[in-house]
Amino acid sequence: MVSTAMENPYEQVQVNILSRIVGNIEKLNQSVTTLNQELDSINTKNRNLEIMGQICENYHNSIQFNLNATGNRKPPL
Amino acid sequence: MRPSGMDQPEEIIEKLDQEITLQLQQIDSNLSYCFNTITKNIIPKVTRYGAICDDIMDSGNWLGTMFQQTAAVDLKLNNPLVVEEQLDASGTGASKGAQPESLFPTAGGRKLVDSSGELAIPPSNASMSEDDFHTANVTTTTTGRILRLPSDSSEEENDDDSKRVAREADGSTLQRQRRKRKVSLLLQREYGSSSSMGLSPVHVNSNKLRNPDEEDDSLGSSPMKVHQDTQDESTKEVPVPGTVIHFATASGSGAGAASNL
């Protein structure tokens, strides 16, 4: 009983801190979810950008191949 | 030894409790620090990066339309599987064999509702189903920018009368976005402050110079055009009355957009 009476203030403090931690984690969770949404939208945009880059690269490759095949390729200026 | 043995468990318990409280406080402070960094540092930067990516997509969207219309191909950038098929069908594929699988593992069923990514143009029906395309864009956008601009339909009709074929289906979303930006810029310049011209000079001058040209150059995302605008910035900085006249034309749309906002 003495030991529990001794532990009680610490327990209260710890319970207070734990409740604060829980609140902090909730806030953190919300912010992380918003961040995830942002990153998701950015991922979609970047996927489109990457597709465009692939298209341009393929276009470049085909142009180089055609220029080589027709012998019209000239050295860079 | 006994008093020490009697004192030790209580002391140990006290020390443990103190340490536990200290650790909990540290955890709490770390969590709050983490929250602050995420909300104050990371999220604004990520949003800025997203805005920059939007700008990049807006500026590079003409490439998509160009490739689509030159190849007479309906290239849906929204659907990566179709893109993969198209790329494989184009046959030039150097780097496509491994990339699309690794790039799009989960996005098979996901539809992008971003307005910048919508390049789905039926090439033959592009001129016919333009209005349907507009409505489809309007309904599918989640950003809400486009939904707020029904008043630009008159402008749009004027622009649609102005026979620009290359932008007829895809440029509409771009036009709306750019018009929204123009409207916001003009509103800032007119109502917000006449002295603070803190906006980027390229945008401002592009607005200043595009408004005279019946806003037909709203697809002018090519670097040449921007360069011309920046060149004209030094020369045409002086004649203010011309800009005033074009403010009068643009303020109607601006007022309409303001009423919508």
> What ipTM describes this predicted complex?
0.77
Residue B140: its H or E element: helix B130-140
Interface residue B74 vs chain A (CB under 8 A): no
B140-152 per-position pLDDT tens digit: 334 443 343 444 4
The first and second tokens of residue B156, run together, are: 């749009």
Long-range Cβ contacts of B162-166 (<8 Å, 24+ apart): B162/B214, B162/B216, B164/B216, B164/B219, B165/B127, B166/B62, B166/B65, B166/B66, B166/B69, B166/B219
Identify the pLDDT of residue B47: 93
**Residue A22 within any structural domain of the chain:** no
Instruction: Report the domain count for chain A.
Output: 1
**Residue A11 within any structural domain of the chain:** no
* Rounded Cα distance, B91 and A63, in Å: 13
A14–B18 CB contact, under 8 Å: no
**Residue A24 within any structural domain of the chain:** no
Residue A58 — left, alpha, or beta (φ > 0 → left; ψ -120 to 50 → alpha)?
alpha
Q: Which residues contact A58 (CB under 8 A, 6 or more apart)?
A: B87, B90, B92, B93, B94, B96
A47–B63 CB contact, under 8 Å: no
Q: Grade residue A7 by pLDDT with cuts at 50, 70 and 90.
A: low
**Which amino acid is located at B160 in the chain?**
D
Interface residue A54 vs chain B (CB under 8 A): yes
Identify the pLDDT of residue B8: 84
Average pLDDT of chain A? Answer: 86
**Residue A9 within any structural domain of the chain:** no
Q: Grade residue A58 by pLDDT with cuts at 50, 70 and 90.
A: very high
B43-89 per-position pLDDT tens digit: 999 999 999 999 998 998 888 888 888 887 776 655 444 444 444 44
| Of the candidate ranges A39-43, B27-31, B158-162, B178-182, the one whose mean pLDDT is the lowest | B158-162
Q: Grade residue B110 by pLDDT with cuts at 50, 70 and 90.
A: very low
* Rounded Cα distance, B74 and B86, in Å: 9
**Residue A70 within any structural domain of the chain:** no
* Nearest of A33, A19, A30, A35 to residue B27 by alpha carbon: A19
Query: What is the domain extent for residue A60?
Result: 31-65
Q: Which of B34, B43, B83 sits opposite A51 (nearest CB)?
A: B83
Identify the pLDDT of residue A74: 84
**Residue A17 within any structural domain of the chain:** no
A36 to A40, B42, B259: CA distances (angstroms): 6, 11, 34
Residue B44: its H or E element: helix B43-71
| Of the candidate ranges B41-45, B96-100, B118-122, the one whose mean pLDDT is the lowest | B96-100
**Residue A40 within any structural domain of the chain:** yes
A25-54 per-position pLDDT tens digit: 999 999 999 999 999 999 998 998 898 899
Average pLDDT of chain B? Answer: 55
**Residue A7 within any structural domain of the chain:** no
* Residue B27 predicted with pLDDT over 70: yes
A45–B87 CB contact, under 8 Å: no
Identify the pLDDT of residue B49: 93
